[in-house]
Each structure stands twice: as C-alpha cells, then as structure tokens.
Amino acid sequence: METNTNSVKEKISTYISTQLLKNKNVGTVLETTPLITGGLMDSISTMQLVTFLEKEFHIEFEAHEVDKDNFDSINIITQFVENKLK
C-alpha cells in the first residue's frame, strides 16, 4: 500500500501548494508544516480543500469532521483521507 499512500499524499500536497497557497509566498510546505495553527490556511481554504478531497477521492465529510485537528498538516490530512478510503 506504500505507493497508494504516496499518491494520496502527493495529490494533497500538490493541491495545497499549487492551488490553496499559490497567492501566498510561504516558502516550502513540508509534510509536517502546521497549516491551520501555523496560519497558512484559514476557514475558507480549509473548505476549498474539503471540496477538493470530496471530489478527488469520492468521499464525504461530516460537519463535525471539518475540524482543524483533521487538517493541520499534509500528513494528518493524508491519514484522515486514507481512513475514509478504507
């Protein structure tokens, strides 16, 4: 399943750096960079990410799952999406 994880992570990472943060000059975003608590993403970009993830991976988020705890880094988001895909 290693390749699968990498492709999920890569898609998420690409979307975040090329779409969500394209207007901000924030430097390199690492897999562990805090996105929400670090101030890189706000509630609007979080919802844009939710919409992207739902379409890309054919999953659906419950209202309470849209929480900064589930979106704070590329690693955390990847893990959350993979749990949904299981």
Q: Count other C-beta atoms under 10 Å from residue 61's C-beta.
A: 17
Q: How far apart are CA 84 and CA 67, in angstroms?
A: 15
Q: Does 44 bind other proteins (CB under 8 A)?
A: yes
Which 11-40 residues touch other proteins, going by CB under 8 A? 23-27, 39
Kindly determine how many residues on this chain lie close enough to bind other proteins according to the rule CB under 8 A. 18
- Nearest distance from residue 25's CB to other proteins, in Å? 5
Closer to other proteins by CB, 9 or 76: give it: 76
Q: How far apart are CA 60 and CA 50, in angstroms?
A: 9
